Structure formats: C-alpha cells, structure tokens
C-alpha cells in the first residue's frame, strides 16, 4: 500500500535519506522520460480508448516494485531528490501487472497483432472504441503468423520510406508506436535438455520507445561479449533470443529477459534444466536445505509479485559515544509463502554492512534488528533496511546521529574518528584520521598516535610532539607483526579520549609477497609468521629508481621509491641520505639500521629549509650506488587548509529539521567533508549538527526546536585541518516546508490554452507553463473541460485523473460539433495550483484543412545580447501531408503586426533555430509556422517577450582536451539551487544517460560531456540547460573542422611529444671537445634522457660526459676528442612522464671527417691561444684619407712581447706608421700603389710562444684592395664645378688622392665624350677636369663624371646650360680678351740691372729686350724726366726688339735713377734701374769697380 500524503513528510521519512543510487536511478528515469516526451510530437498526452480500457481493467492489484541492481548507495541526505507525493483529487487509480489468466493474455496478444495488421493494410485511420471479438483477433493473428516474409518485407520497406512518412504513419494510425511500457507478446519457454546440447530461448517484445532487452541468469546479467563461446544474444524488430552452446549441469538456472524503456520495465522468465545421466549427479550443485531462497520456484510461478511494507520502523535516532543503539522494523510481505524468507540487508551510507564486534544483526522472521553495541562517531550516517524477495525489494532509511562522549578533562577536545592504515610496508605504515568537530573551546594543537601489537594490551605513543596534519607515518614496526592504532587530540586544556581503534594491519611489503610464505598461527592473535626463502649468493644492488617526495609537512617528509632492478635473489634494504640544497654534503639519516620498506619518513628537519634526498640499496654484498637525487624540497605544509564554504542557505524541511545547502569551497584539495553547526539566533551558542564530516553541498540538520529561529555555519575539512567558519546564514524559523505557511507554495495558473488538433471525438490542448512555480518543480498538470451550449457553460469535468507531465494533452470521448471550454491546473509538492482562466470556446470537429496545425511548446534558450535559440514541438495536426519544414518570424514586442519579418528565407527541417543579429536591449516575440506540400500552416502562439541581453556572469560551454586525450565539453553554473540539474542535448535532443557515443558527468556546479570515440557521428550542436535557474543555458557547435582540430589535439595529448626548441646538434668547444646537445621547450624534474650510439646505449663515463639541465631543458654529451670509431649515428631519447621525443644526428663520411678535422684544428687553436696570439688575423681597411691601414687584433700580450712587421720577408723598421694600442696592431700605408704590393707578415713572440699572421696583397687580393682604395677615392670626390679660363670652360672635381687604377670617363647628355684637341680631360694633382676650348652652344647640357673603381661606378654631374652656360661663356670671353691683351702688351723682358755702380770716366752700356704687338714706343727717363739721346748718352731701339742705353764717359753727374718705358695700345711697362758713379781712391778701387760692373 502507499503511504498517506502527510506521513511521507514525517521527520523519519525525509527524501534526503534516499541513497545516491536510488536517486540516480530516479533521476535517470525521469530524465529519460522527459527526453522521450520532448522528442515525440503527436504522442504528447494522447490516450486511446484502448489504453483507457486497459487502465480500467488493471485494478486487480498494485504493480509490484521491480528490483534494481543491488548497488550500494553513497550519499545520505546531500542529494536533492524530490519527494514523490501523489495528489489525490477524489479518485484513485491503480496500475496492475500482467493479466494472470491465459485467456486474457491470448486476447491481449491477438488484439495487438490484429491492430498492427490493420495498420499495415491501411484499412482504417481512426482509433475505434468498440471491442473486437476474439475470433477476429485470432483470425488476424493467424494471418500474421502464417508468413515470415511480412517482417522481411517490412525491413525492405522501412529502408525505402522516408523518416517523415514513417513518423506520420505511426503518429496517426499505429497505436503500437504510442508510448507504453514493454509487453512480452511471446514469452521465453522453459526447456529440459541433456548435457552437451544447445538451447535457444526466444521472446517477442512490444513497446515504445523500443525496449532495451537484457538477459539474466539467476539475476546476473549475461555478457555474451565476454563469453562468445558460451552465449549468443540476438535481437531485432521485437524478436530477441539467447542461445547457450554445449550446456552442462552448471547451466541449470532460472533465466529471464528484462525489457525496459522510459515507460517502465517488464520481465519474462524461463527455467533451463540440464539433465545428467544417472551416476553423474553432483550434489554440490544444489544449495543446502538451510539456505533461504530469496528467489526460486514459488506457487505463483517465477513472475510472482510481492508487496513489502515496513511497520514500526526506526526513525531519526540520536545516540552518544559508548552507548548501545538498536534500529529495527517489522517487515510484512504479501503474499506470504511458506519456506520462502526475504533476504534482509542493512546499509550505512550506501555500503552493505556485515556483522562485526561493533554491530549485530538479527532477523526473527518478521522483525529485523541492527544493534550498534558501542557507538562511536564512525557509526553516524544514513542507515537503510532493505528487504529483497525474489526480484522485488523495498527499503526504508533513517539517519543516526552520534554525539561526543563527555571529555575526561573539561575543555579537552572530542576524539578523532575514522582511523585508517594506509600504504603498509615491512616497517612502515601511514595513519590517517579525521579531525573532530568539537575542539573543546580552544584550538587543537595536534594529535598523538598510539600503536598496540595485536594480541597485547600495551599501547605505545608513536610521536613525542603533537602533529597537526591528519596523516602521520609510523616507522619502526617489526616485520610480520600486526598492529592496531588509535589517535588522541590535544589542546591547551588536555587530551581527548582515544578514537576507535583501527583495523589490524600487518607489517608486510606488498612488493615482496611473492617471495614470502605466510600462514596464520593458531589460535589467531593477529600475528603473521614470516619465513623468507634462503638467499643465494648476492650481488651489490643497483640504485633505487623513481625516488619522489610523496608528502611534505613541517613535521616530516615522506620518501617513496622503487626497488632496484639489479638486486639478485637476496632481499635489499636501504640507507637514506639528505643534503641541504646548494651544499654538496650528503648525510646518512638512518646510520645504524637500514630500512626494509621502499618508504621512509624523515623527522626533525628545519622548517623552511630546502633539502634534497637520495637512497642507496644494500645487502650482504655491500652498499650500492645512490639513486638520483630529488629536486629541492622545502620543508613545510604543501597541503593548505581549505577555504570556507560560502552561500549558506537554510530551507524548511520538517518541524524539527532544516535543509542546509552551501557552495563548495573553491580550490580545496583532498577535501574530507564539511561540519555544520547550528545556533539559536542571538544566543551565540553553537552546537554541531554532525560529528562525521559529510561530503557534497547539502545536509539535513535534525533535532531542532520547532518554532525557534536558527542560523547555520559550515567548516570544510581536509588533512591539513579545518577551515575558518563560513559566514552565518540568514535566520530561519523551524517549521514544516509544506503546510507551514510558506507563501506561493503552489504554482500560478498556466495560460495561453490553444488547440493543437481536433478530430470528431477528441481534441489536443496545449498551454504555457506557469510563470510562478512556487519555489518547487512542476510535477504535472490537470485538465478540466465543460460543454458550452448556446453560450451557457456547463459543469466542469476532469479530463485526467493522473497528472500529466507534458504541456499537451488529448481529451477523448468528446461529442462531435460540440463547443467546449478548458482550464488547466499545475501541481507541485505543495499541491494543486489555481486553475487557469477558462479558454475561449473551441468546437470539436474534424479538421479537414490541408495545411498543418500550429507548432507548440515554443521555448527560448541561450538568450544573449545579439542572439537566442528557439525550440518548438511539431504540430499535432500535420494536414494532408507530412510536415516538411518550418518558418520562423520575429518582431519587436511593441511593434505592430506589419513589422513581422522572417528569420529564415528557406524552410528549415530542424525543430530549433538560432536567431542572430539582434539589437541589444530590445524585446522580441517570435512565432513558428509549419509547412507541408499544401502550404504554410497556422502560426503558433507567440512567445513571451524576451529581452536580448547577456546576463552578468553568463558562461559558455568550453571544450577541453585532457592529458589522456579525452575530448569533453564543460559547463559551469554558479546559480544552482538545491533542485537544479544539468540537461545535455545534441541538436537539442536530450542525450541518453547510456549513450554509446558520450558520457555525462556532473559534480557540484560543473558538468561535462566526454566523447568516447569522437567521429563524424558526433558532429552537431551540443547544448546544456540548467533547470531551476533563470534560463541558464549554453551551446557549442562541433563541426568537421573543429572535430579535426580536436582529434589532432587529442592525439597530441594522449601520445604527447616533448616539444623541442632545438634538435640534436653538434658543436666544437674551445678546447676541441665535441658537444652533442638538444633542448626541449620544458621539462619536469622527473625527465630522463637516454643516449644511443649506433643502436647501443652509452653511459656516462671517461669518454662520455653526460648532463641534463631540467630548468633549461638542455641535454648534452661532451666527448674530449673524436676518433675513427666514433663515426656513426647519435640519438638522444627524452622521456618526461608519458611524453617522449628523440632526435638523431648522423655523422658519417665527409661530414664526420670535416667535424673531426675541425675539432683537431680547434684544439690546436686552443693551444695557440695559451701564448700571445691573434684574435683577428691581419686584415686591411681603407681610411677616409684614402690610405691603407693594415690591422690585427691580438690578445694575451705582455710588455715583453715582441711585435714585428715584414713585407716580402723584409722587416719594416719601426716608425710612426705602425703602432700597438688597445690590443690592436696597425700599419698605415699612405698613397698606396702597386709598389706597395707584396706579402705582409705580423709576428708575435715571447717566452710563451709565437704566432704569425700573413696577409698577401698580390694579384686578386691587391686588385680587391685597389678597388676599395678607388672606391674611397671616388666617394671622396666633390661635386662638379664650372670654371672659365681664357681657353674655354673647365669642369672639375677634387679627390683626396688619385691613382691611375681609378678609371675616369665623362658623358655629355648621356653619351660618351670623344676627346679631341678642343675637348680634353686630365688629372692635375687631386683635380680631375674636363677642358672645353672655344665652347659653342652645342656644348650645352648635362655632364657626368664616371669613376669606376673596378667593381662599381661612382658619378658626379653638373648641368652646363641656361644661366650657368651663359655666365661661364661670358667669363670665358672676358678672360680670352684679357689674355690677348696680356700677351700683346708692351713689356720689358729683361737685361737691365736694378743698380749700376761705375767708376767715373768709364763707359756704360746697358741693353734690354722689348716685346709688344704692335711694336711699342720706347722712352728713357732719368729722375722721372724723359731723357733725350745725344753724344754723351746714346739711346737706340733696333728691330722693334732691342733697346740700348750707352754713356760714353761716365761722370758723377750721370748718377741717378733711370727708367725705360715701353708703350703700345695694350699697355705700358716701365723698368727702373739706378746708376751710381764713384771716384776711385787707388788702383785697387779702380779694379774692383770694373769687376763689379762685369758681374752685373
């Protein structure tokens, strides 16, 4: 029987007690039902007369509850599964099982087959309410069963027909396609066979959607893929079979086929008995008589149904540590069958319990009891009693709370809980526990761990200093012995009571179990006697591998490693060494006794310091090499205390309980759970609501006082400790959620009722869901109708007794041509809401229009500022032809009808569309019209106005490819309510939970869809909707290009390749060493590299010096020198986790010889550089002054180093031309010419050695140098200038220096100048000129000077035209005339002295040359007066060239200043001379005077 409405809300029947698996099953079932309901069209809410008849006939007994898989459930009260509350409205409806009588079953089957044959022949299109006779059914059934070809034809026809035709056909005619639970038309038949024979079980199943059939053997699913040699399962078109090959006696069992779809589940049973020849029976195959049969052959057959009820059940219970608590319930099963007892199971938090010293279980045949003999906080949780009877079960749950015992010392903390032993080894184990919720009023300082050897009562404290971390490594265990542990908390006041002891754990190394023989001693004491095999002669073990720091706190560091591969047959032990980072000083930690386990905990390390660790293996043969050292590890807590939870929201539940939800702590690692505390508002006194941490984000706090206002807070817990308290919640009054005065508990009325289809006796309604849900999910709808005759409305009648979940419903048994009105009511957990306004009157008549009816259930999703997605359901009435597509219209909400515009130009076959290019902030309404061959149908109702705006905090679906290459679509929502769910769809069709293509995983506020095997089948639009939110939704389009990109990324992540910055390369080092190296983009501390030469691995040693810098990603190998045997292929193989890469370098043939030669040269170079040497050998450069500078850069020079220059082996003596400064030796050669060509040498020498640099400046080298000199000369040329002279016009430029190697040519108006006597070129000093004599107008134009340096041409140009030419020509004329005048003017060309001294009485004769054209006139002057010739002074001018001056007898009066003047028309020239006459004093004077005259 069903529980009454009020009783289901009693404090001991809270929905939160349901297990996670039960909740998951219900959630998946409801999700599947919603998905299938959303995908169908004309089947929404439709009920045929046959279905109603079947419902009325099924009032014999309630349908039995089918068993689920007995999977343990996990959570207790922390999942938001809703109550299932029936709403009673004056009637009750019971659903029966399969008809028991054979006659009814035959009639049902025959009727089904007859109707299907009727549909296939097309003899009728309407649903008849009249019952067919048994003979007619049998006739159709026989007709159908006579030919197997009908199914084969149906297969061929199904392939040829279009999907739309098939859907339309079944929608309008085929009742078998309407949603209904699976029905076994033909059940499997029981068989009795002999051993080694094959058997085949057949069944035929009907149902829609098509049921999924699973075969079971003794309630265990049969996996034919795992045992293809034993089983073969086939199925198709409703026919299913199980074939068992070569049966043996073990195959004797009960087999059943289970068919399930969204409407329900059904099973059919058959027995298989495998007979063995007499004498071969195995008695062990039968169960002992004392074993209770949970399922077996009953008087009612294999498909018997049981009603299981719990009476006087236990409720929410409160206990105290140390007390005894019993939970019990009376179990009533109907029908009662003697010799058949139920299987009673107890669960705690979804985990099946078994009897132990802490709990006893008792079943009296009617009453089941679970006794907790000594309560501890570990016993707190959700307890479930399950009674299983055959295939049916029922269960009941309630929560048990355990309070802390009184502390031995007032103010001491409560005891820790859940002490567990982890990672046990030979002499080491890690103990973990959970921190208590109560700290006694002061912070917990830490915990003490105690151990006790099993079989003794002696407890030993394992740590001297309290540890705050809730994990602790215990060392020093004796191998082979078993131990139990307990933990005590300590604060400044005292020490808590000890926790419940852990389960015993043996000190054994799991890796060595294959070499250890174990047997329990008698009597059992918990000890294990260990005997090791005799060791053989051992070898020194190799280094351990994979050394890592598994845990690091401020109290200890735990190391873990793998045993060495090289260890012989003898066991190994280990020495652990530590070293402060940066100091190569290793210290052995366990100096006296080596450890046996590959785990070790180090204590007494300095907090905040960095350490590196390594391990050595040892045995009787000695101590091996150390392992690779770990990366530097800072001593300190690496696991942070979690941040507090947030957004604490209390919700009313019952009169004594409140549901508390919260947002989980962000970025919390290794979270254990949450503690919830409650306080009466204003009291300031806090009490724990739970003493065992709960996971999830929801908890029901019980034991509260009715009518009081409470506030709540939450703390997160992990091994590092308890978080800070969350902020206090809002105060809430404790009262029942339903009936407790909560406003708006029931939903508001639905609205916009419309007709989707109308036939002669039925109509299909559609409506919009209520705008206010009352804070709870809408569970269904009720429809009422009434007749309207001549405008007068009649009494309301109920159209449906059972609530319907969809927003479309067919009302049957109406009167044709009668007008009806309708009203709709929504219901939720609070009850049935207010009826909607009566619809407008609708006439029930057959629609005969050719076009389709209106689409319905328009839904808007993914509303953004510029886009939104519209979904709809196809019209129920399709017209005369199937619907081929849809048109979507949109307009602004306030605009008139003339503003409607189409969204799509071409009709779309989809039932969704994305509208883009919207105006942000505008409000829109939309409608949909269906199309068939006849035309466009009636438009749907308008959507409610929607604002085109992206809400703050909107998140989109994100695609992620993880390290394992799994592609997933991820969506996160921070607006979840306790009842919110994530619903994923593909192309806006819900994704099945058991989809073969994807898997859906949801945790907290995050959900993801992971692709199992991505392919083109997965292309489409994936969308996610969050229920119970303000329209939170998003989508992601997976197209072919995106899939290709994701598959490539998936491959890269699944088979990762370490990216390389540089492939394997080789270089020669300074000393001639050969360095092989490669560089990765990034490496972790665990990266490794292997070196391979010619397919053989090489190791670090004398020849090869190998190293790896993980920070820079550089792996290198250095060889001192290359030998002939080193020719080959070198490979570096990188491995970093599962990522790999390698790079190879081939050094053979000429490449290897060149490298070897270069290495040898580099080594010689290194030796050379030990003394004075050249950094840069001799080279040359041309200075701006066009000089040549020889220079060389030297190094390692001392004061006594001798520097010498040579040319052609002749030393150049030191002068100012060469010098040494700043490590550079130079030699300056001015005006470099061919005579300077030769071989130059620069020699450095001292007692450390000698180095020489040679520079050959000959042949081509000399030509290159001269070309550079010419280039500098050409570049130094000034701009061309114009100069006029008496001969013509001269163009010229100046260079710094000129050599004949610089080839000079002139161009006039782009043509080469041919040199003549009139036009000449030349070089005068540093001037390069072009002389144009007697210029004419033809000489006007652009002149270009081309200077070719041997490699390139340098130019200078000038424009000799226009004013430039005129001015130059005028100047030339002037200078020409001046030259003529200068040439022809009169002049005295010579012969006259400046002074004449003569003795008195002598004769004076002076002669000079005269030049001039015309012949000048000659005049003599004395003392600036004209002198007239006479006998004393004879003046002559002969042949126009010679003038003479003669004094026959000189006297003193002849002394004076004389001058000769030549004058013609071009000019006058005067030449002065002085005549001095003296008196001689003696003979000598006379001779001297004569001599002096002669000299002159």
Mean of per-residue pLDDT scores for the chain: 81
Supply the pLDDT for residue 1410: 87
User: How many Cα atoms within 13 Å fall on the side-chain side of residue 679?
Assistant: 14
Tell me the average pLDDT across 115-125: 41
pLDDT tens digits, one per residue of 1279-1311: 999 988 888 999 999 988 888 888 899 999 988
Supply the pLDDT for residue 65: 38
Maximum Cα–Cα distance across the chain? 197
How far is Cα 384 from Cα 382, in angstroms, rounded to an integer? Answer: 7
pLDDT tier for residue 300 given thresholds of 50, 70 and 90: very low
791: helix, strand or coil = coil
How far is Cα 338 from Cα 336, in angstroms, rounded to an integer? Answer: 7
pLDDT tier for residue 109 given thresholds of 50, 70 and 90: very low
Helix crossing, 102-121 with 134-145: angle to 10°? 60
Tell me the average pLDDT across 51-63: 36
Supply the pLDDT for residue 1297: 83
* Contact between residue 781 and residue 827 where contact means Cβ atoms under 8 Å apart: yes
pLDDT tier for residue 573 given thresholds of 50, 70 and 90: confident
* Contact between residue 530 and residue 458 where contact means Cβ atoms under 8 Å apart: no
pLDDT tier for residue 1495 given thresholds of 50, 70 and 90: very low
* Contact between residue 459 and residue 450 where contact means Cβ atoms under 8 Å apart: yes
Residue 355 has pLDDT above 70, yes or no: yes
How far is Cα 982 from Cα 28, in angstroms, rounded to an integer? Answer: 12
How far is Cα 162 from Cα 171, in angstroms, rounded to an integer? Answer: 14
The answer to which of 136-145, 409-418, 1134-1143, 1338-1347 has the lowest mean pLDDT is: 136-145
DSSP string, 883-943: --EEEEEEEETTS-GGG-EES-SS-B-SSEEEE-SPPTT-EEEEEEEEEETTEEEEEPPPP
Adjacency order of strands within the sheet including 1020-1026: 989-990, 982-986, 1020-1026, 1033-1038
pLDDT tens digits, one per residue of 1199-1238: 888 888 888 888 887 654 456 677 888 888 888 888 889 9
User: What ranges make up the beta strands (E) of 524-598?
Assistant: 528-532, 545-552, 556-562, 573-580, 587-588
How far is Cα 311 from Cα 298, in angstroms, rounded to an integer? Answer: 25
Q: What are the phi and psi torsion angles at 176 (to 5°)? A: -65, -20
Supply the pLDDT for residue 1217: 45
Q: H or E stretch including 1406?
A: strand 1404-1411
CA distances from 1325 to 479, 1182, 1322, 1333, 1347 (A): 108, 20, 10, 21, 16
Helices then strands, each counted (H, E), the chain: 11, 101
pLDDT tier for residue 346 given thresholds of 50, 70 and 90: very high
Supply the pLDDT for residue 1112: 92
Supply the pLDDT for residue 1096: 92
* Contact between residue 218 and residue 296 where contact means Cβ atoms under 8 Å apart: no
Supply the pLDDT for residue 566: 75
Provide the phi-psi class of 1071: left if phi over 0, else alpha when psi is between -120 and 50, else beta: alpha
Supply the pLDDT for residue 1482: 60
Tell me the average pLDDT across 925-938: 92
pLDDT tier for residue 112 given thresholds of 50, 70 and 90: very low
Supply the pLDDT for residue 1037: 93
Residue 278 has pLDDT above 80, yes or no: no
Supply the pLDDT for residue 742: 45
* Closest C-alpha to 951, from 913, 921, 985, 981: 921
pLDDT tier for residue 1060 given thresholds of 50, 70 and 90: very high
pLDDT tier for residue 245 given thresholds of 50, 70 and 90: very high
pLDDT tens digits, one per residue of 148-175: 667 777 777 777 766 766 666 555 444 4
Q: What are the phi and psi torsion angles at 1017 (to 5°)? A: -65, -20
DSSP 1053: H
pLDDT tens digits, one per residue of 880-910: 889 999 999 999 999 998 999 999 999 999 9
pLDDT tens digits, one per residue of 747-805: 889 998 999 889 988 999 999 888 887 767 788 999 999 999 988 889 999 888 888 88
pLDDT tens digits, one per residue of 1084-1125: 988 999 999 999 999 998 889 999 999 999 999 999 888 999
The answer to whether the Cα torsion of 1390, 1393, 1399, 1401 is positive or negative is positive
129: helix, strand or coil = coil
CA angle 234, 238, 242 (to 5 degrees): 30
pLDDT tens digits, one per residue of 1390-1443: 778 888 888 888 888 888 988 888 888 888 888 888 888 888 898 888 888 888
Q: H or E stretch including 1438?
A: strand 1433-1438
Supply the pLDDT for residue 288: 39
pLDDT tens digits, one per residue of 248-268: 888 888 999 999 887 888 999
Rounded CA Rg of the chain:
58
pLDDT tier for residue 1142 given thresholds of 50, 70 and 90: very high
* Closest C-alpha to 1223, from 1171, 1175, 1165, 1166: 1175
Which carries the bigger pLDDT value, residue 276 or residue 1363? 1363
How far is Cα 388 from Cα 1258, in angstroms, rounded to an integer? Answer: 111
Tell me the average pLDDT across 525-533: 42
DSSP string, 1320-1385: EEEEETTEEEEEEES--GGG-EEEEEEEE-SS-EEEEEEEE-HHHHHHHHHHHHHHHHHHHHHHHS
Which carries the bigger pLDDT value, residue 43 or residue 746? 746
* Closest C-alpha to 578, from 570, 588, 591: 588
* Contact between residue 777 and residue 1028 where contact means Cβ atoms under 8 Å apart: yes
Residue 1249, number of CB atoms within 10 A of its CB = 15
Listed in sequence order, the residues at least 6 apart from 1068 whose beta carbon sits closer than 8 Å to its beta carbon are 1074, 1075, 1155, 1158, 1159, 1162
Listed in sequence order, the residues at least 6 apart from 1348 whose beta carbon sits closer than 8 Å to its beta carbon are 1270, 1302, 1303, 1305, 1354
How far is Cα 1402 from Cα 1398, in angstroms, rounded to an integer? Answer: 7
Question: How far is C-alpha 1212 from the geometric centre of its chain's CA atoms?
Answer: 73
Adjacency order of strands within the sheet including 239-244: 180-186, 199-208, 239-244, 231-236
Q: What share of the chain is helix, strand, coil (3-state, %, to 5)?
A: 15, 40, 45
Q: Which residues pair with 144 in a beta bridge?
A: none
1397: helix, strand or coil = strand
How far is Cα 676 from Cα 722, in angstroms, rounded to an integer? Answer: 12
Supply the pLDDT for residue 329: 92
Q: Which residues pair with 676 in a beta bridge?
A: 714
Tell me the average pLDDT across 202-219: 89
Question: How far is C-alpha 1268 from the geometric centre of its chain's CA atoms?
Answer: 60
């Amino acid at each position: 029987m069903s529980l009454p409405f009020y009783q289901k809300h009693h404090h001991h029947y809270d929905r939160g007690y349901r297990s996670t698996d039960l909740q998951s099953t219900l959630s998946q079932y409801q999700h599947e039902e919603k998905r299938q309901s959303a995908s169908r069209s004309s089947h929404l809410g439709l009920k045929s007369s046959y279905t109603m008849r079947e419902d009325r006939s099924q009032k014999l007994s309630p349908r039995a509850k089918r068993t689920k898989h007995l999977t343990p459930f996990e959570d207790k009260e922390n999942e938001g599964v809703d109550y299932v509350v029936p709403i009673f409205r004056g009637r009750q409806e019971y659903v029966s099982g399969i008809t028991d009588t054979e006659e009814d079953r035959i009639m049902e089957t025959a009727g089904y087959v007859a109707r299907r044959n009727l549909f296939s022949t097309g003899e009728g299109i309407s649903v008849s309410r009249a019952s067919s006779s048994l003979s007619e059914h049998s006739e159709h059934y026989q007709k159908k069963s006579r030919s197997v070809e009908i199914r084969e034809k149906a297969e061929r026809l199904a392939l040829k027909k279009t999907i739309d035709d098939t859907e339309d056909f079944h929608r309008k005619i085929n009742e078998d396609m309407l949603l209904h639970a699976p029905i076994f038309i033909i059940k499997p038949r029981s068989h009795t066979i002999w051993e080694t024979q094959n058997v085949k079980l057949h069944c035929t199943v009907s149902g829609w959607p098509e049921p999924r059939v699973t075969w079971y053997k003794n309630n265990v699913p049969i996996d034919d893929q795992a045992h293809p040699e034993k089983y073969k399962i086939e199925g198709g078109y409703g026919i299913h079979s199980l074939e068992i090959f070569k049966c043996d006696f073990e195959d004797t069992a009960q087999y059943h086929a289970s068919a399930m779809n969204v409407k329900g589940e059904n099973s059919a049973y058959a027995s298989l008995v495998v007979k063995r020849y007499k004498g071969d029976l195995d008695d062990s195959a039968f169960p002992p008589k004392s074993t209770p049969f949970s399922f077996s052959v009953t008087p009612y057959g294999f498909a018997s149904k049981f009603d299981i009820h719990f009476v006087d059940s236990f409720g929410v219970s409160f206990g105290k540590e140390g007390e005894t608590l019993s939970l019990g319930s009376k179990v009533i099963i109907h029908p009662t069958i003697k010799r058949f007892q139920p299987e009673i199971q107890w669960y705690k938090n979804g985990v099946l319990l078994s009897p132990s010293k802490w709990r006893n279980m008792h079943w009296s045949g009617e009453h089941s009891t679970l006794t907790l003999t000594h309560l501890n906080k570990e016993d707190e949780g959700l307890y479930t009693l399950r009674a299983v009877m055959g295939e049916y079960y029922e269960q009941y749950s309630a929560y048990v709370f355990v309070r802390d015992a009184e502390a031995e010392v007032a103010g001491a903390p409560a005891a820790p809980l859940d002490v567990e032993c982890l990672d046990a080894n030979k002499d080491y184990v890690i103990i973990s526990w959970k921190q208590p919720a109560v700290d006694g009023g002061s912070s917990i300082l830490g915990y003490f761990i105690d151990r006790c050897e099993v079989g003794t009562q002696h407890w030993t404290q394992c740590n001297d200093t309290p540890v705050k971390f809730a994990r602790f490594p215990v060392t020093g265990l004796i191998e082979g012995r078993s131990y139990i542990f307990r933990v005590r908390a300590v604060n400044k006041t005292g020490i808590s009571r000890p926790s419940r002891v852990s389960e015993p754990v043996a000190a054994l190394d799991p890796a060595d179990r294959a070499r250890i023989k174990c047997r329990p001693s008698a009597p059992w004491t918990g000890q294990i006697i260990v005997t090791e095999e005799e060791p053989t002669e051992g070898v020194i073990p190799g280094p351990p591998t994979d050394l890592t720091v598994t845990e690091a706190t401020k109290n200890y560091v735990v190391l873990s490693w793998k045993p060495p591969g090289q260890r012989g047959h003898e066991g190994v032990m280990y020495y652990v060494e530590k070293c402060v980072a940066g100091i190569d000083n290793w210290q052995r930690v366990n100096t006296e006794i080596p450890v046996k386990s590959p785990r070790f905990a180090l204590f007494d390390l300095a907090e905040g310091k960095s350490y590196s660790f390594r391990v050595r293996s040892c045995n009787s043969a000695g101590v091996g090499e150390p392992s690779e050292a770990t990366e530097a590890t800072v001593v300190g807590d690496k696991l942070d205390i979690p941040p507090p939870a947030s957004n604490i929201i209390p919700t009313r539940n019952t009169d004594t309980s409140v549901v508390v939800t919260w947002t989980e702590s962000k970025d919390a690692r290794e979270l254990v759970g949450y503690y919830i505390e409650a306080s009466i508002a204003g009291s300031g006194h806090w009490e724990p609501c739970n003493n065992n941490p709960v996971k999830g984000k929801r908890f029901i706090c019980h034991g509260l006082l009715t009518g009081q206002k409470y506030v709540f807070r939450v703390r997160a817990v992990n091994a590092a400790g308890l978080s800070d308290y969350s902020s206090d919640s809002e105060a809430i009054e404790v009262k029942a959620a339903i009936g407790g005065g909560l406003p708006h508990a029931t939903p508001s009325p639905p609205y916009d009722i419309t007709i989707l289809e109308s036939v002669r006796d039925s109509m299909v309604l559609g409506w919009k869901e209520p705008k206010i849900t009352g804070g709870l999910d809408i569970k269904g709808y009720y429809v009422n109708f009434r007749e309207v005759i001549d405008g007068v409305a009649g009494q309301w009648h109920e159209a449906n007794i059972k609530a319907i979940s969809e927003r479309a419903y067919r009302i049957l048994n109406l009167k044709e041509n009668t007008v009806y009105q309708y009203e709709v009511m929504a219901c939720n957990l609070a009850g049935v809401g207010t009826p909607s306004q009566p619809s407008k009157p609708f006439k029930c008549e057959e629609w005969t229009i050719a076009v389709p009816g209106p689409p319905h259930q328009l839904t808007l999703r993914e509303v953004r500022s510029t886009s939104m997605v519209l979904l709809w359901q196809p019209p129920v009435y399709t017209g005369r032809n199937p619907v081929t597509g849809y048109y979507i219209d949109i307009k602004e909400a306030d605009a008139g009808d003339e503003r409607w515009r189409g969204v799509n130009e071409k009709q779309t076959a989809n039932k969704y569309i994305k509208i883009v290019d919207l105006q942000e902030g505008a409000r829109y309404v939309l409608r949909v019209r269906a199309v068939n061959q006849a035309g466009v149908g009636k438009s749907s109702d308008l959507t409610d106005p929607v604002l085109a705006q992206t809400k703050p905090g909107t998140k989109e679906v994100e695609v992620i490819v993880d390290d394992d290459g799994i592609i997933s679509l991820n969506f996160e929502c921070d607006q979840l309510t306790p009842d919110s769910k994530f619903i994923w769809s593909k192309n806006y069709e819900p994704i099945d939970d058991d989809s073969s293509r994807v898997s859906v995983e949801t945790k907290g506020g995050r959900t993801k869809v992971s692709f199992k095997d991505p392919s083109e089948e997965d292309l489409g639009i994936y969308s996610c909707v969050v229920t119970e939110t303000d329209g939170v939704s998003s989508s992601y389009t997976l197209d072919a290009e995106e899939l290709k990109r994701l598959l490539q990324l998936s491959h890269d992540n699944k088979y990762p390749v370490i990216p390389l910055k540089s492939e394997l390369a080789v270089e020669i080092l300074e000393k001639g060493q050969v360095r092989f190296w490669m560089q990765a983009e990034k490496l972790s501390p665990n990266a490794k590299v292997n070196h391979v030469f010619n397919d053989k691995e090489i190791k670090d040693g004398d020849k090869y010096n190998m190293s790896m810098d993980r920070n820079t990603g550089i792996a290198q190998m250095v060889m001192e020198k290359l030998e002939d045997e080193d020719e080959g292929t070198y490979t570096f193989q990188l491995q970093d986790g599962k990522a790999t890469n390698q790079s190879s370098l081939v050094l053979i043939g000429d490449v290897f010889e060149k490298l070897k030669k270069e290495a040898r040269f580099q080594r010689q170079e290194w030796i050379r550089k030990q003394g004075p040497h050249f950094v840069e050998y001799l080279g040359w450069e041309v200075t701006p002054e066009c000089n040549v500078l020889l220079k060389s850069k030297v190094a390692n020079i001392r004061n006594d180093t001798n520097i010498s220059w040579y040319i052609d082996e002749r030393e150049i003596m030191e002068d100012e031309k060469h010098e040494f400064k700043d490590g550079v030796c130079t030699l300056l050669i001015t005006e470099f010419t061919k005579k300077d060509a030769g071989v130059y040498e620069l020699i450095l020498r001292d007692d450390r050695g000698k180095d020489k640099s040679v520079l050959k400046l000959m042949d081509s080298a000399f030509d290159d140098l001269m070309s550079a000199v010419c280039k500098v000369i050409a570049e130094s040329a000034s701009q061309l200038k114009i100069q006029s002279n008496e001969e013509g016009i001269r163009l010229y430029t100046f260079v710094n220096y000129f050599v004949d190697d610089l080839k000079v040519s002139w161009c006039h108006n782009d043509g080469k100048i041919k040199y003549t006597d009139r036009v000449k070129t030349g070089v005068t000093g540093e001037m390069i000129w072009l002389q144009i004599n007697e210029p004419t107008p033809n000489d006007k134009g652009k002149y270009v000077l081309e200077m070719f340096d041997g490699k390139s041409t340098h130019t200078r140009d000038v424009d000799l035209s226009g004013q430039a030419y005129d001015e130059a020509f005028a100047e030339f004329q002037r200078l020409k005339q001046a030259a003529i005048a200068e040439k022809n003017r009169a002049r005295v060309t010579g012969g006259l002295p400046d002074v004449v001294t003569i003795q008195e009485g002598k004769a004076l004769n002076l002669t000079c040359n005269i030049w001039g054209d015309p012949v000048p006139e000659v005049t003599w002057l004395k003392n600036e007066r004209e002198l007239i010739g006479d006998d004393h002074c004879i003046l002559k001018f002969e042949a126009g060239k010679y003038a003479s001056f003669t004094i026959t007898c000189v006297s003193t009066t002849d002394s004076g200043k004389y001058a000769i003047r030549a004058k013609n028309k071009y000019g006058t020239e005067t030449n002065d001379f002085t005549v001095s006459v003296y008196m001689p004093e003696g003979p000598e004077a006379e001779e001297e005077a004569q001599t002096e005259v002669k000299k002159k």
